[in-house]
Structure 1
Amino acid sequence: MKSYLPPIAKLWTGRNSGHGHYMHERVECIPLDGEFSDLRNNACGILGYCCDEGVRRNYGRPGAAEAPDTIRKQLAKMPSHLPQSTSLIDFGSVECLNGNMEAAQSFLGEKVFTLLNSNIFPIILGGGHDIAYGHHQGIINYLGKAKTLGIINFDAHFDLRSNASGNNSGTPFFQIAEDAIANKTPMNYMCLGIRDNANDRALFAKAKDLEVAFIKAEQFNMHNVDQVKSELKEFIEKVDYLYLTIDMDGFSSAYAPGVSAASPMGFAPDIALEAIKTIIQARKLISMDIAEMNPAYDIDNQTAILAASLIHFVLHEIALL
């Protein structure tokens, strides 16, 4: 069973300028079954993934299903510096019903394909990191086998756990790797912020076996920014397109307490922004998502504001291209 939730205009509120100076004044709410063929060329679409079933299966803290609307509310209040040539559309959310995560992932993939096929840059709001499998399916179905896709994951975890006992929020990139092997296509995967205390020996071995590129959390900082950018650029040069996925639990809990698996040992927003800027400037980014934001454990909306700020940054950097 699959469910689609139309966009809710009342989520987009804030200070009124009367001149489109705030994000809530710039966003359009359009159902995915509505008409959006006449959008401007520079169009970005927000779609929620209201699912934390994968987190529950992975013995994490449920609550991420509520994140999409929470992030929308924080983004709505922020100033807009977007040019008039940029369209920002809220297309609503995909919902997980009766614990059927696989149906929600498949439905998400269909909707990501629809957005890409309509020349709209997707920004998907999770939800657990199982969002990545459905999101990736949509991108691959759009690109086909002729183009190579690079996955860049900001995360404390590889999320390469075997799905022998079922799919969950820790298995998406294992599933993507299995699909790549079955389809005889490459898997180009890079992780930024990996922690030794968040991945066991078997996961590091699996990453080595799959030739996953990664930068550990202790090197992912502003003191090492030049090396981070160099390794990113080396990875980016190998692929035609990029998919960016940001797991909020990669950040230190000093910045992101509201996640499914919080830790004080994560990275800071400044290096994340520098890395994102490098990714966008390569002009290969095709889609992005935010995962694992959990409003139930947030403090003063810190994590929601950080997630919204990352989206705000991406929107404005894309608009400058």
Structure 2
Amino acid sequence: MATFKKPTQKNWSGRISGQQLYMHEKITCSAIEKVTPNSIALLGYACDEGVKRNQGRIGAIAGPDAIRAQLGKMPNHLAPERKTFDCGTIECKDGDIEAAHNSLSLKVSQLLKQKAIPIVLGGGHDMAYGHYKGLLAHVGKGKTIGIVNFDAHFDLRNCEDGPNSGTPFYQIAQDCQDEDMPFEYLCLGIRPDSNDRILFEKAIDLNVDFLRNSQFSFHNLKTVTKTIDKFISKVDYIYTTIDLDGFSSAYAPGVSAASPMGFSPDIVMHCLSILIRSKKLLSLDIAEMNPTYDIDHQTAKLAASLVHLVMRKL
């Protein structure tokens, strides 16, 4: 089963200005039904059952609140009319990951119906499947949703033994095939030391667009920008998902599968700006935040800074 934890102002603290100079003063804890149009809606996904099944380091269940804690301390540069809501957290109970996905799907779809922009804080990367289902339920099958994944991993593993944090995009690909819909997936930061030969073959068979980690840097900015622009041009909407384990552990030690060989924040921030400028971005999520292994809240601060950037540029 899945349960839902109501938002609480206790998760939001920082300097007191009385002038909404800080994000904790800007954010309103609210039921989803009360979210207003043209607002930003934060939603937590407290689940690491998928990480556990995928033999990763558990602890991402505490990710949403760790990101909230750092985001609340940051300065508020949003326009007064841009409302920002914390809508609570989906919790996975008794290992029922399917119920958690269904709950996430329903809440994402509801937020979009109310003309809000969802930002989901995770939590294992299995949430991408539930998140995508919510987007599809809203836009319908006549429109193409392009997935942009910043990640070291394809996450295209088979799911015969049930879904996990390594299967979400394979599940989406299978659903697209069953419904005769295009599967448009761009993965940025893929590492050969993190994906076996079969996963590369599957990505090629599914016509996945990807850049290897060696290509995904400011040294190769022209190619990166061209790749993203080309992908944007062939889809109607963009769903962006950021797996924090794609970053080098120099920036993100607090993740489910840390490695020093990942990418850096600057190239991701550049790409996010391109995606936002396209006006096609529907929603975004941050995956695999694992406070158990974080150092000085470094990873939580990175995640919060990425959310902060997106909020400012929307």
Shorter-chain TM band? over 0.9
Matching of residue 79 in structure 1 with residue 75 in structure 2: yes
Matching of residue 163 in structure 1 with residue 159 in structure 2: yes
Q: Distance in 1 between matches of 2:192 and 2:34?
A: 48
Matching of residue 4 in structure 1 with residue 11 in structure 2: no
1:187-206 map, 5 Å = 187-206=183-202
Q: Distance in 2 between matches of 1:2 and 1:203?
A: 31
CA contact (8 A) 1:151 1:243 kept: yes
User: Which one of the candidate residues 220, 229, 239 is aligned to 2:235?
Assistant: 239
1:249-264 map, 5 Å = 249-264=245-260
Matched with 2:290 is: 294
Matched with 1:35 is: 34
Q: Distance in 2 between matches of 1:66 and 1:144?
A: 33
- In the TM superposition, residue 17 of structure 1 has moved relative to its aligned partner by 1.1
Q: Distance in 2 between matches of 1:303 and 1:12?
A: 18
- In the TM superposition, residue 226 of structure 1 has moved relative to its aligned partner by 1.6
Describe the SS at the equivalent of 1:42. Answer: coil
Deviations 1:218-244 (A, max 9, x none): 111111112101110000000000000
Matched with 2:265 is: 269
Deviations 1:247-285 (A, max 9, x none): 000000000000000000000000010011111111100
Q: Distance in 1 between matches of 2:178 and 2:142?
A: 16
- In the TM superposition, residue 85 of structure 1 has moved relative to its aligned partner by 1.5
Matched with 1:17 is: 17
Matching of residue 98 in structure 1 with residue 94 in structure 2: yes
**Percent identity among equivalent residues?**
54
- In the TM superposition, residue 171 of structure 1 has moved relative to its aligned partner by 0.3
Q: Distance in 1 between matches of 2:260 and 2:231?
A: 28
Q: Distance in 2 between matches of 1:257 and 1:8?
A: 27
Letter in 1 for 2:189: G
Structure 1 residue runs without a partner (length 5+): none
Matched with 1:128 is: 124
Aligned residues: 314
CA contact (8 A) 1:106 1:134 kept: yes
Q: Distance in 2 between matches of 1:125 and 1:35?
A: 20
- In the TM superposition, residue 7 of structure 1 has moved relative to its aligned partner by 0.1
Q: Distance in 1 between matches of 2:45 and 2:191?
A: 26
Describe the SS at the equivalent of 2:274. Answer: helix
- In the TM superposition, residue 166 of structure 1 has moved relative to its aligned partner by 1.8
- In the TM superposition, residue 165 of structure 1 has moved relative to its aligned partner by 2.0
Describe the SS at the equivalent of 1:303. Answer: helix
Letter in 2 for 1:107: S
- In the TM superposition, residue 35 of structure 1 has moved relative to its aligned partner by 2.7
Q: Distance in 1 between matches of 2:297 and 2:117?
A: 26
Matching of residue 311 in structure 1 with residue 310 in structure 2: no
Q: Distance in 1 between matches of 2:111 and 2:308?
A: 19
Q: Distance in 1 between matches of 2:10 and 2:53?
A: 32
RMSD in angstroms over aligned alpha carbons? 0.7
Task: Give the TM-score, by structure 2 length.
Answer: 0.99
Letter in 1 for 2:127: I
Task: Give the TM-score, by structure 1 length.
Answer: 0.97
- In the TM superposition, residue 42 of structure 1 has moved relative to its aligned partner by 2.5
Letter in 2 for 1:35: K
Q: Distance in 2 between matches of 1:202 and 1:123?
A: 32
Letter in 2 for 1:159: D
Matched with 2:217 is: 221
Letter in 2 for 1:29: C
- In the TM superposition, residue 10 of structure 1 has moved relative to its aligned partner by 1.1
CA contact (8 A) 1:42 1:85 kept: no
Describe the SS at the equivalent of 1:86. Answer: coil
Letter in 2 for 1:57: R
Describe the SS at the equivalent of 1:181. Answer: helix
Matching of residue 144 in structure 1 with residue 140 in structure 2: yes
Structure 2 residue runs without a partner (length 5+): none
Matched with 1:69 is: 65
Q: Distance in 2 between matches of 1:46 and 1:166?
A: 28
Q: Distance in 2 between matches of 1:308 and 1:70?
A: 9
Q: Distance in 2 between matches of 1:236 and 1:226?
A: 15
